[in-house]
Amino acid sequence: MDALTIVIALFYLVGLFCAFLALWRSRTPQGTVAWIIGLITVPMVAVPFFLVFGRKKFIGYIKQRQHYDREASKEIKEIEGLLETNLHVAPLPYLSNLIDETQSLGFTDHNKVNLLINGEETFESMLKTIEQAEKYILLQVYIFRVDEIGNRFADLLIKKAKSGVKVYFLTDRIGSKLGTGFLKKLKKAGVHVHLFASWKNWGGHFQINFRNHRKILVVDGKTTYLGGHNIGDDYLGRWKNMGPWRDTQLRIEGPAALSAQLSFFKDWHWAKEEIIDLDWLPDPITDGKQILVLPTGPADEKENCLLAHLSLIQAAKKRIWIATPYFVLPESFYYTLALAAINGVEVKVLLPSYTDNKLIKYASEVYVERLLKSGVEFYRYLPGFLHQKVMLIDDEAALVGSVNLDPRSLLINFEIFAVSPEKDVIGAVGSMLESDFNVSQRIDPKEYENRPLLQQFLCRATNLIAPML
């Protein structure tokens, strides 16, 4: 028996073993069948893909989080005790059980919430808040670019670190490509820097499919920012190939900042194995607003990100307005949207007119075509690239965060988003989306009926690998 025959035989044996694992790991029957067929018939191709993309849960993090819980239990009990006074509220009962599952701080009252539209407004506000920091700064983004706006942030972080403010900077190892010189400059100035990686051992190197997609800024435990903005010139519309950039962020002052702080606290502990000293005393705002800040990720026992979105959509009676750059839906999400439209709920979805990922665009057209037949209205945003992640449910809830509507964000990424039941927040988000729809083009269902056969084939073929995109 020659060496090639032995290698092929080994691949088939490993393929059979991986097919067995796929019965437990895959999220849907369709996914299970697809993996098993591929692993048995073409193991040389399917096995490497399965090792990277076939994991359902984030190995290591759950165990590490349990270790963190033991070490940090005193701090957590103190936080919960402080919030129990009069800051905890439960305005949306259909989210209550899910919030308990996440072990998050839940809805809090007495917050100030500001809606920030596009990069200019967002970055200037963030830089101003960083400049005012007195104790510490927690900055976490998926992508940090060393360009004009990136250097403005870096220079300010260095300045604050030298002045005695504690600065912690966390970014995803895959999302950000930061040179050693840039990192050394930050560290030399006293900035605590670390790259979030999903692996810490040999086995973990096969779970690079998990990304930390959160965008968080917390200053002094009192103010937080979250939404769709990473840090880079492209978010200011300075990339000619992308054009003007459309994004949305929230600035939150008050006890809800502690929820974002707790998320950063956990991520830093995973990345650095270090518990950082932070303030956990709530800073309530007089006559403030109710809001939920909810971190989710692959370490959750359940698919909390997907379940939260489905809970909101199922509660809708009049309207569901959505803005998202990517639209590749898990089956449950697709049917929930379709049913809402069939039952007379106004469902409007705002998508980019062009995209930074053609494969995702092809895959998304399958869902657009089908949902158009159910009465869902789709619009293409014309002025530039749409990157905001926003959802509006009736006059009951507004959601802003880092979550794209695709399997990666909803099922396997570390994400964070905020939900508010406050009328003025809902009104501001509604007015913003209405302005976006007014500069968008509604998609005619006939456009999809008349597409070339080759394009339809490409869309359906690409949709088969949607979970890997």
Active site residues: 213, 215, 220, 387, 389, 394
d(CA 261, CA 219): 9
Q: Is 204 exposed, middle or buried (0-12, 13-18, 19+ CB in 10 A)?
A: middle
Query: 385 pairs with which residues across the strands?
Result: 245
91-108 in b/e burial notation, b at 16+ Cβ within 10 A?
Answer: bbeebeebbeebebbbbb
d(CA 334, CA 367): 7
Name the nearest CA neighbour of 290 among 319, 327, 259: 259
Coil, strand or helix: which one is 283?
Answer: coil
Place of tokens 């903005």: 229
Contact residues for 130 (Cβ-Cβ < 8 A; gap 6+): 137, 139, 153, 156, 157, 160, 217, 219
Q: Within a 10 A sphere around the Cβ of 294, how many other Cβ atoms?
A: 26
- Cα–Cα distances in Å, from 428 out to 19, 37, 132? 49, 49, 26
Contact residues for 133 (Cβ-Cβ < 8 A; gap 6+): 160, 165, 219, 220
What angle is formed at CA 315 by the lines to CA 328 and CA 326, rounded to 5 degrees?
A: 15
Beta 107-117 vs 248-253: how paired, if at all? antiparallel
151-165 in b/e burial notation, b at 16+ Cβ within 10 A?
Answer: eebbebbbebbeeeb
